[in-house]
């Protein structure tokens, strides 16, 4: 796992200078063990690298790594799980290896097949190859989007990096907030790919590759996309065959992710997905599995540690537990820095802390990420199917009744979920599912200042799935929402959070549930094997019934959230008020101060629970405050705004 960056100059631009090393060193947290740099003979192409040693700890595996004749150079972030089989094939073809790394396999495979080698790579990756003979730069990102890759292009420069903060060190790359991204952030809590929060920076989409010629011409190609079968075209399969198929594929996926030359462990929430991963690890590993979980002070509705302890006892793991208190909000600046801007998912707080705790003992961790997305684990999937069966008039009547009830204590209360469900009953499916997940939807117009909104392009609240709509046409209701979730929330929220929070602590996270073979197999299974009534993950639970304790089988979905509602009415009340109600708050040029004040007032009075909305506003305001210091000293290794928060330990 590493940090990569690079640049290509053309159109009369000057030569590569010290900015490439400065970009590289802003990624030191992704690779603290060593660094590397390559600049072509004409100084027009360059690659930078920070290394976190995982496989082949020797210097022979350091990057940028070259082909035998030096004409191909690679920087690579991620893991290739089938690299041993590929290596055997390449050795038989006459290639000479000087390391035992997976990165060198990519170099020789590119020599054989060029960009077509992407089809053979099984893993998580963001990579860049400079082909000196063909004078081209080739970039690629893995199928699910586990590893990030951003780029900037002008008339004279193409630059790329694992994180956008690398561009803060490049004096020729303008870092300007994109006003068009503001509505997206407040609808979804993130800016959907390929856009970013910065005007001139783009992200390479999952399953895509980019070829950049020596003259700067760019060609973006989609090499893979997940396909759900059309309704009525689902292949029949016997239940026993499906159970065996899921069990075999997930077991192999876990086994492939145990290859490491450094210690590894697992995140354990006590839910179905992480329990299965830990159970399989305990059977596949000789030593005790190290497991790590986190709990929350202030609201038992957000604490899963009792289930995690139960699972740890079941499999005899070496278990470590940590508890998050409201003082952990001190991490807000750190999280903004590591996400390169505002990020609306507050579960980044516990994810960051459990990652730091885990890194004290291991360097690689397996997670349950992707299980809910693959096997329809979220309640919103059941809600989507159910909502298609309820008459609209009945839905509106129930909504009118529930809207008169006092605000529930937290957003996980049955009443809060019921209110969200029935509030959107009169809308089409895609709008309905977007409303359920949105931070701001119908109230977005009240949040944005009228003059600011008038300066923007028309706001399309379904823009985040617009490109995927043709692929969802003709699919079942469940197929549509699973597909939409796989191409939006998964790569733009969940995987972003996991990557940034783990890599901020130099920890590699691996996701067995996002194994390519497993993902494609499960997508093709009948809906009833994923969701049956209210029961989620039907076939997964059957396939691993022997690993799941009865308590885990029977428990409802909790999710990895934070009790913001409680915290903002308690210990964090003053912090939230001081930040959002300050007379010089910077958001006021774009957002309505009156509406924000109303949100704060209604939340503190208990009239409503606006915890998630207030969190998104706080992150946005702090980003606007610290951004100037990030870009002021373009040659600094770490901007002033990041140092105190990022390098200090939160209270225990």
Task: Report the pLDDT averaged over residues 72-92.
Answer: 96
Containing domain of residue 328, as a range? 239-375+483-554
Specify if 596 maps to a domain: no
- Say whether both 171 and 260 belong to one domain: no
Q: How many helices (H) and strands (E) does the chain have?
A: 28, 19
CATH label of the domain that carries residue 543:
3.40.50.620
Specify if 437 maps to a domain: no
- Say whether both 213 and 249 belong to one domain: no
Measured CA to CA, the distance from residue 502 to residue 25 in angstroms comes to 18
Is the full-model pTM beyond 0.85?
yes
Specify if 496 maps to a domain: yes
Specify if 434 maps to a domain: no
- Say whether both 118 and 212 belong to one domain: yes
Q: What is the pLDDT of residue 223?
A: 98
The contacts of residue 584 (CB under 8 Å, 6+ apart) are none
Of 339 and 405, more confident: 339
Specify if 603 maps to a domain: no
Specify if 231 maps to a domain: no
The dihedral built from the CA positions of residue 225, 228, 233 and 239, taken in this order, carries a sign that is positive
Measured CA to CA, the distance from residue 502 to residue 358 in angstroms comes to 9
- Say whether both 137 and 217 belong to one domain: yes
pLDDT digits (tens, 9 = 90+) for 594-605: 999 999 999 999
The string over 412-431, giving b where at least 16 C-beta atoms fall within 10 Å of a residue's C-beta and e elsewhere, is: beeebbbbbbbbbbebebbe
The contacts of residue 590 (CB under 8 Å, 6+ apart) are 179, 182, 448, 449, 452
Residue 651 pLDDT more than 60? no
Of 436 and 649, more confident: 436
pLDDT, the chain, mean: 90
pLDDT digits (tens, 9 = 90+) for 277-326: 999 999 999 999 999 998 876 666 666 788 899 999 999 999 999 887 77
Q: What is the pLDDT of residue 416?
A: 62
Look at the chain and report how many structural domains it folds into. 2
- Say whether both 510 and 367 belong to one domain: yes
- Say whether both 217 and 245 belong to one domain: no
Do 630 and 304 meet the contact criterion of CB atoms below 8 Å apart?
no
- Say whether both 197 and 322 belong to one domain: no
pLDDT digits (tens, 9 = 90+) for 370-428: 999 999 999 889 888 888 777 666 666 655 565 666 666 655 555 666 666 666 666 88
- Say whether both 156 and 217 belong to one domain: yes
The pair of structure tokens assigned to 329 is 């909000």
Q: What is the pLDDT of residue 556?
A: 63
Task: Give the residue numbers annotated as catalytic, written as ranges.
Answer: 2
Percent of all residues in the chain with a pLDDT value above 90, rounded to a whole number: 76
Residue 647 pLDDT more than 50? no
The pair of structure tokens assigned to 66 is 């070259």
Q: What is the pLDDT of residue 644?
A: 32
Task: Report the pLDDT averaged over residues 481-506.
Answer: 97
Measured CA to CA, the distance from residue 432 to residue 252 in angstroms comes to 37
Specify if 355 maps to a domain: yes
């Amino acid at each position: 796992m590493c940090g990569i960056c690079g640049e290509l100059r053309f159109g009369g631009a000057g030569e590569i200078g010290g900015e490439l090393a400065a970009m590289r060193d802003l990624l030191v947290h992704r690779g603290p063990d060593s660094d590397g740099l390559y600049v072509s003979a004409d100084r027009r192409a360059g690659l930078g690298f920070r290394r976190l040693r995982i496989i082949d700890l020797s210097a022979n595996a350091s990057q940028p790594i070259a082909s035998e004749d030096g004409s191909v150079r690679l920087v690579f972030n991620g893991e290739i799980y089938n690299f041993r089989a590929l290596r055997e094939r390449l050795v038989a073809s006459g290639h000479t290896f000087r390391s035992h790394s997976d990165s060198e396999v990519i170099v020789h495979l590119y020599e054989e097949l060029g960009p077509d080698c992407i089809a053979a790579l099984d893993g998580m990756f963001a990579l860049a190859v400079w082909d000196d003979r063909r004078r081209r730069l080739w970039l690629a990102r893995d199928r699910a989007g586990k590893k990030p890759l951003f780029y900037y292009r002008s008339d004279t420069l193409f630059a790329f990096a694992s994180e956008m903060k690398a561009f803060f060190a490049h004096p020729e790359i303008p870092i300007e907030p994109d006003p068009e991204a503001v509505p997206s952030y407040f609808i979804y809590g993130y800016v959907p790919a390929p856009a970013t929060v910065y005007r001139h920076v783009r992200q390479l989409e999952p399953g895509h590759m980019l070829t950049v010629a020596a003259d700067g011409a760019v060609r973006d190609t989609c090499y893979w996309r997940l396909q759900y079968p059309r309704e009525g075209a689902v292949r029949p399969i016997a239940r026993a065959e499906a159970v065996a198929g899921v069990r075999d594929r997930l077991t192999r996926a876990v086994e492939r992710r145990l290859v490491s030359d450094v210690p590894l462990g697992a995140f354990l929430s006590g839910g179905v997905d992480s329990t299965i991963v830990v159970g399989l690890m305990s059977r596949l590993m000789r030593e005790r599995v190290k497991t790590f979980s986190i709990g929350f002070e202030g609201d038992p509705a957000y604490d899963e540690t009792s289930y995690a302890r139960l699972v740890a006892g079941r499999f005899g793991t070496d278990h470590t537990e940590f508890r998050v208190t409201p003082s952990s909000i001190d991490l807000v600046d750190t999280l903004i820095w590591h996400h390169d801007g505002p990020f609306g998912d507050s579960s980044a707080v516990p994810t960051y802390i459990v990652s730091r705790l885990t890194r004290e003992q291991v360097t690689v961790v397996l997670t349950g990420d992707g299980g809910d997305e693959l096997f329809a684990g979220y309640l919103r999937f059941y809600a989507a199917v159910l909502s298609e069966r309820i008459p609209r008039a009945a839905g509106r009547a129930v909504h009118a009744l529930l809207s008169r009830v006092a605000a529930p204590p937290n957003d996980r209360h049955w009443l809060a979920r019921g209110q969200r469900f029935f509030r959107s009953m009169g809308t089409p499916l895609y709008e309905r599912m977007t409303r359920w997940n949105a931070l701001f939807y119908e109230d977005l117009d009240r949040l944005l200042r009228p003059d600011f909104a008038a300066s923007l392009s028309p706001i399309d609240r379904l823009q985040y799935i617009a490109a995927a709509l043709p692929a969802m046409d003709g699919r079942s209701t469940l197929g549509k929402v699973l597909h939409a979730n796989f191409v939006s929330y998964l790569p733009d929220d969940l995987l972003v959070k996991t990557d940034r929070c783990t890599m901020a602590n130099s920890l590699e996270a691996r996701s067995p549930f996002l194994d390519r073979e497993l993902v494609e197999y499960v997508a093709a299974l009948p809906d009833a094997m994923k969701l049956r009534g209210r029961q989620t993950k039907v076939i997964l639970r059957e396939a691993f019934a022997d690993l799941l304790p009865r308590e885990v089988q029977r428990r409802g979905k909790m999710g990895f959230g934070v009790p913001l509602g409680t915290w903002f009415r308690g210990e964090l009340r003053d912090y939230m008020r001081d930040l959002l109600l300050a007379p010089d708050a910077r958001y006021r040029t774009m957002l309505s101060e009156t509406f924000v004040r109303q949100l704060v007032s209604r939340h503190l009075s208990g009239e409503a629970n606006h915890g998630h909305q207030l969190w998104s506003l706080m992150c946005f305001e702090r980003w606007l405050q610290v951004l100037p210091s990030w870009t002021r000293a373009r040659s600094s290794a770490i901007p002033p705004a990041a140092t105190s928060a990022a390098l200090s330990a939160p209270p225990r």
